[in-house]
Amino acid sequence: MNAKIGGSMLLALFLLCSVSAYTTSIHAPAVLQNEYIGTLTVISLNLTAGTGNVTVTGPSEVGSSTLESASVAAAYAASYLGVNDKAYNFGYSIHDPNANVSGPSAGLAFTLLAVSALQGRQLAGNFTVTGTINSNGSVGEIGGVSDKAGAAAGNGMRYMLVPYVQGSSFETEIYYLSQQKYGLPFIEVKNLSAALPYAGLGSNTPEIGKMSINLTADYHATGLTMANIACSACSNAGYFSELVNYTFNFTRSEIYSIGDNFSVAKAQLSSQLSQYEEIAAKGYFYSAADLAFLGYQSASVFANAKYYNMTGAAQYMENVSLYCSSLSPPQMTRNNYEYVIGGELRQGWAAQNLNLSEQLLNASQSTDGIITSVNTAAVSYAWCKAADEMYGIASAMGGAYVAYPSGIKSAALSAINSERAYASGGLYLDSAISAYSQGEYGTVLYDTAYASVFDSPTALNQSTRGVVSLTRANIANATYGIWPSEFSKSSLFYLSEASMNGNDSANLTQAYETSLLALRLNAVNKELSGSFVPANSSTGSQDLYQAILRENQTLSEIQGEISVMSAAMLAVLVAIVVLFVIMLAFFLKYREMSAGVSHGTVQPERKKSRRTGV
């Protein structure tokens, strides 16, 4: 134990021997449930000599998680200072009965109070804190940070301590968004030791500055060799570069729409996009587009700030839903089927993701939840934008219309059942099931290929050399069609990144998984292209084709109605003819009898029985 802590202990012991109790307090933010606003309350601790009893009072109900968090806080604080927690009673009190300062989110505040009381030193009064406390003193993540920041700023707090999160995580983006919105500096702390100086319990007060954000990553674009994989069985492979440029453009548009309050994030994302363009220039088209797509997701967090309320979020989702549902794939041909299926895939993923975003919105209890739901919907919008472009490319490619043979339907069902044996659900499997119900059997086979790779985590037990060898073997056998060849090139990209990063496991795993997907899509392409049958339409636009189908259906219905009417009319006509023949026969017979009487012709005698009853 260092001298500073030892001195603090002596001071605490002196104070505890000289007074019967010590009281300290801290500002703690909370979120009012289902109101999407924060509140700032005060938590105090009355430390007395005792037997280790820990209590929490104030709210009308105190949950077990709140009491457990206070107990962990008291025990760790005492352990940190090297004193016996069983020699004291810790009486925490929350001074706002309406505030939801509960559960583990007040853990760090409870711990700072315990250290403050045990040392006999008051905490700084111009800050607030949120975060859980673990038994080892580490600080855990919490929710509702945006609403809490609003409450802290509105009550004059100078800064807020928050749990440390990884620099590339979505939570970091929420931190930065909230900090910039309210002008309140965020201080990230990993553990109690890091928090103490900012709470006024250190030997000096550290400099307070706003947290920075880092959305950049070096992908060694300048060190990449040109991609050297040639696509086999590809029709107009150059169209893929159009798709990449389209992705760059809509990502760039989203970046440009970011407000000036987030200028640092805006500049970083713009710089990253330039790097992705360098990657595309080396021929790694899918890798570049995929990275730009991820950049779009980050940009949308800041660009969509105006939607971060219940009404705005619901309207945003409605707009995305209307746009996505308006898309319709063109008729499939032997030339364009990969782009049609690629679009159907993304449209299906968007539908699944949009359902998730609506569930997140309905379950949200803070603005953080609304931000998450809107960002999830933004991913759906981006997928639909990509699908729209793919459908346009497919229409431009043209070719003879084809259809799936009956055998593909059973193959699609078999693929779904096979994946169900390994996973109960997931984006790709759920999308495959939906595609099957719509008769998109090629899309089912693609979806299940994705599911087989990504719905379950990949465990690589090979050496680095073994992983590289397996990956390259997959790549060598995956060039049949635009998607397999592009994924193969992407796999090479991640192998290159791994090599330049000391063969890190993340890039090696990405390389292997991508090569495995390429190999499985390669098999699907061969199965599909070898089984297509001609569709019952001539080459032409999809609109014309659909119009012909509708016209043929209408004509068939009319012909059916005409057939029924014709049969009825024929029956009436036959009845009329029969009646006419009968009447004609009677007429002729009558004339014959009349002619016999007038000319004295002798008629044969008729039997009386024939006259009976006349």
Distance from C-alpha of 487 to C-alpha of 492, rounded to nearest angstrom: 9
Burial class (CB in 10 A: 0-12, 13-18, 19+), 125: exposed
| Mean pLDDT of the region 20-39 | 88
Indicate the pLDDT class of residue 576, thresholds 50, 70 and 90: low
305: closest CA among 170, 178, 452, 201?
Answer: 178
How many whole angstroms from its chain centre is CA 448?
Answer: 18
Q: What is the pLDDT of residue 237?
A: 81
| Mean pLDDT of the region 98-116 | 84
292 pLDDT more than 60: yes
495 pLDDT more than 60: yes
> pLDDT (tens digit, 9 = 90+) per residue, 426-482?
999 999 999 999 999 999 999 999 999 998 767 777 899 999 999 999 999 999 999
SS3 251: helix
- Percent pLDDT > 70 in the chain is 83
320: closest CA among 331, 307, 330?
Answer: 307
Indicate the pLDDT class of residue 397, thresholds 50, 70 and 90: very high
Q: What is the pLDDT of residue 556?
A: 46
Average pLDDT taken over every residue of the chain: 86
Angle subtended by helix axes 427-437 and 406-420, to nearest 10 = 150
3 pLDDT more than 50: no
Q: What is the pLDDT of residue 416?
A: 96
> pLDDT (tens digit, 9 = 90+) per residue, 584-608?
555 445 444 444 433 333 333 333 3
Distance from C-alpha of 26 to C-alpha of 509, rounded to nearest angstrom: 46
| Consecutive H or E run containing 26 | strand 21-32
229 pLDDT more than 70: yes
C-alpha distance from residue 261 to each of 26, 83, 294, 303, 500 (Å): 30, 47, 21, 11, 36
Q: What is the pLDDT of residue 95?
A: 87
C-alpha distance from residue 406 to each of 60, 113, 442, 499, 532 (Å): 65, 71, 12, 46, 10
> Side-chain half-sphere of 59: how many Cα atoms within 13 Å?
19
| Mean pLDDT of the region 325-352 | 97
Q: What is the pLDDT of residue 379?
A: 98
418 pLDDT more than 70: yes
C-alpha distance from residue 551 to each of 330, 544, 566 (Å): 18, 10, 22
214 pLDDT more than 90: yes
CB 237 within 8 A of CB 482: yes
> pLDDT (tens digit, 9 = 90+) per residue, 184-210?
999 999 999 999 999 999 888 788 999
As given in the structure block, the two tokens for residue 41 are: 């309350």
Q: What is the pLDDT of residue 551?
A: 42
| Mean pLDDT of the region 566-584 | 55
102 pLDDT more than 70: no
Q: What is the pLDDT of residue 600?
A: 34
| Mean pLDDT of the region 86-108 | 82
Stronger pLDDT, 612 or 425, i.e. the higher one: 425
As given in the structure block, the two tokens for residue 54 are: 């820990």
| Consecutive H or E run containing 533 | strand 533-534
224 pLDDT more than 80: yes
Q: What is the pLDDT of residue 170?
A: 93
The model's pTM is 0.82
| Mean pLDDT of the region 87-103 | 79
Q: What is the pLDDT of residue 202?
A: 86
Stronger pLDDT, 561 or 316, i.e. the higher one: 316
Distance from C-alpha of 31 to C-alpha of 348, rounded to nearest angstrom: 36
The 3 state secondary structure assigned to 575-610 is: HHHHHHHHHHHHHHHHHHHHHHHHCCCCCCCCCHHH
Indicate the pLDDT class of residue 131, thresholds 50, 70 and 90: very high
183 pLDDT more than 90: yes
As given in the structure block, the two tokens for residue 609 are: 């029985």
The 3 state secondary structure assigned to 542-569 is: HHHHHHHHHHHHHHHHHHHHHHHHHHHH
Count of other CB atoms within 10 angstroms of residue 499: 17
Stronger pLDDT, 18 or 477, i.e. the higher one: 477
As given in the structure block, the two tokens for residue 515 are: 């090569």
Q: Which residues contact 369 (CB under 8 A, 6 or more apart)?
A: 143, 360, 361, 363
| Mean pLDDT of the region 472-496 | 97
- Percent pLDDT > 90 in the chain is 71
Indicate the pLDDT class of residue 424, thresholds 50, 70 and 90: confident
As given in the structure block, the two tokens for residue 313 are: 């979020």
* CATH classification code of 3-199: 3.30.230.10
Count of other CB atoms within 10 angstroms of residue 509: 18
> pLDDT (tens digit, 9 = 90+) per residue, 51-65?
999 999 987 677 788
**What residue type is assigned to position 323 of the chain?**
Y
570 pLDDT more than 80: no
